[in-house]
Structure 1
Amino acid sequence: MSILKSLSVATSVLMLSLPAVSFAQAERDIEAEEANRALVIQFYNQFFNEHETEQSSLVLAEDYIQHNPEVPDGKAPFVDYFAAYFKENPDYKSEIVRSATDGDLVWLHVHSTNGDEDRGEAVVDIFRVENEMIVEHWDVIQSVPEEAANDNTMF
């Protein structure tokens, strides 16, 4: 038997021995997802653009989970961290370029800058919402370069 045929037979046997996997997506609750997106966008604009840390943070869970290694877990430590940051960086802004939802997750694609001369950073923020509260956050951050290898923007 040729090596190719043996590999084909082995692959077929392996595939038949694996349990069936369903790739069917659960039915989405678009109304709930849109409510989550509205909650996150309102929080984000008040917190990161208006620097209204106390009022906007009412939608953060007390045991808020933070995956950015520079920012502490918990609502109070998160608010304290950014209140100090905004005091030192009063021109910091984050323009939401686009957003998306899927289940309990809300994604924001953001252009953050610290003043008019700053090229800024491209940020993808991911928030998990549970019972109308923001309970968890991840982000990916990339500096906007002076020159790019293509004519596309990061936004």
Structure 2
Amino acid sequence: MTYSKLYTAMFVLISVVGCNSSNDIKEEPSVIEKVGFEASCITIECEQNNKEVVSQIYNEVINNKNSQITYSVFSENFMQHRTGKSTEVSAQETYYNELLTTNPDHTAAVKHIVADGQYVAVHWHYSQNSENEFSGQEIVDLYKLESGKVIEQWNKIETVSDSSASGNSVFSDLYVYQGDKPSISDSELELNKTRVTEFYIELFSTGNVALVDEQVDPSYLQHNIWVPNGSQALKDFVTYLKGENKLSDVTIERTLAEGDIVWTFMIKDNLSLVDLWRVEQSSQKIVEHWDI
């Protein structure tokens, strides 16, 4: 989240690794009093309000089964990138009603959320048992808001694997700060975005694993299901991809950040790949990673 900018879209993409993919999505609306919204959304208040609007999609629509607030959350003809066309709010309400009817025992557990300018992104768990993080679906929704309503939505969904190479779930937050968590200024936040984006693009475009020694903590925590913990495991993974000729030019379409987590997005019509990177500010190292 940056508070001194007019940010609308950033860099250009990524491509790597596969996970399993699925096509059932979840997106949702919300009602909150529209106070403090701005077209460009460059203040903390505006970003926080946008986050609260989006949060009600999960709290109210899915968990409280109140699809009627859809009309308070989505713009009348918003762009739904899941279908690739403008969608009326009534169609979105119908979608939620069908979702709630099909999966009456499912709940939404928000794991990570970021508000940065006009954009809000949510990493969440959709399942019958939110305590079992090796079940259900892993979903990332990306929203663009204007005047307190959603005007565009993208998303990506994966079926959650029942195991991982590291033993970590795709959702858990495991990094523990020694002492107080460092504060991050706006300028440091922007620097983190640039550093993570450049690292990602070069590493997965060229296979230059020397970058891992420079940018990644040796005890790096990994939530990708195929790769164990540790910077050496990441180097081994990239070396394998390079040897199999599976690296290609990487482009990042959008980068968002709030606190110590930087989000990078690959977008081809809908979301193709999303990564979350935790940057430990005092060491300037990446210490934890999630992707979908």
Query: TM (normalized to structure 1)?
Result: 0.74
Q: Using the alignment, how far apart are the partners of 2:125 and 2:99 within structure 1?
A: 17
Query: Superposed, which structure 2 residues align to 1:1-155 within 5 Å?
Result: 26=5, 28-69=42-83, 73-113=87-127, 115-116=128-129, 119-155=135-171
Q: Residue deviations 1:122-155, cap 9 Å, x none?
A: 1111111100111111111111101212222111
Gaps of 5+ in 1: 1-24
Q: Do the aligned partners of 1:128 and 1:136 also contact (CA within 8 Å) in 2?
A: yes
Aligned residue for 2:87, secondary structure, equals: coil
Q: Using the alignment, how far apart are the partners of 2:76 and 2:124 within structure 1?
A: 25
Shift of 1:57: 3.4
Q: Using the alignment, how far apart are the partners of 1:32 and 1:152 within structure 2?
A: 34
Q: Using the alignment, how far apart are the partners of 1:131 and 1:32 within structure 2?
A: 9
- Letter of the 1:148 counterpart: S
Q: Using the alignment, how far apart are the partners of 2:100 and 2:86 within structure 1?
A: 16
Shift of 1:77: 0.7
- Letter of the 1:100 counterpart: V
Percent sequence identity is 25
Q: Residue deviations 1:37-75, cap 9 Å, x none?
A: 111112331112111001343221110211123998221
Question: Which moved further from structure 2: 67-76 or 49-58?
Answer: 67-76
Instruction: Select the structure of larger CA radius of gyration.
Output: 1
Indicate the residue corresponding to 1:6 in structure 2.
none
Shift of 1:106: 0.4
Gaps of 5+ in 2: 7-41, 172-292
Q: Do the aligned partners of 1:47 and 1:57 also contact (CA within 8 Å) in 2?
A: no
Q: Do the aligned partners of 1:46 and 1:56 also contact (CA within 8 Å) in 2?
A: no
Q: Do the aligned partners of 1:124 and 1:141 also contact (CA within 8 Å) in 2?
A: yes
* Cα RMSD for the two superposed structures: 2.3
Flag the 1:79–1:132 CA change in 2: closer, same or farther, 3 A: same
Q: Using the alignment, how far apart are the partners of 2:71 and 2:57 within structure 1?
A: 7
Q: Spell out structure 1 runs of 4+ moving beyond 6 A.
A: none
Q: Using the alignment, how far apart are the partners of 1:151 and 1:69 within structure 2?
A: 35
Indicate the residue corresponding to 2:182 in structure 1.
none
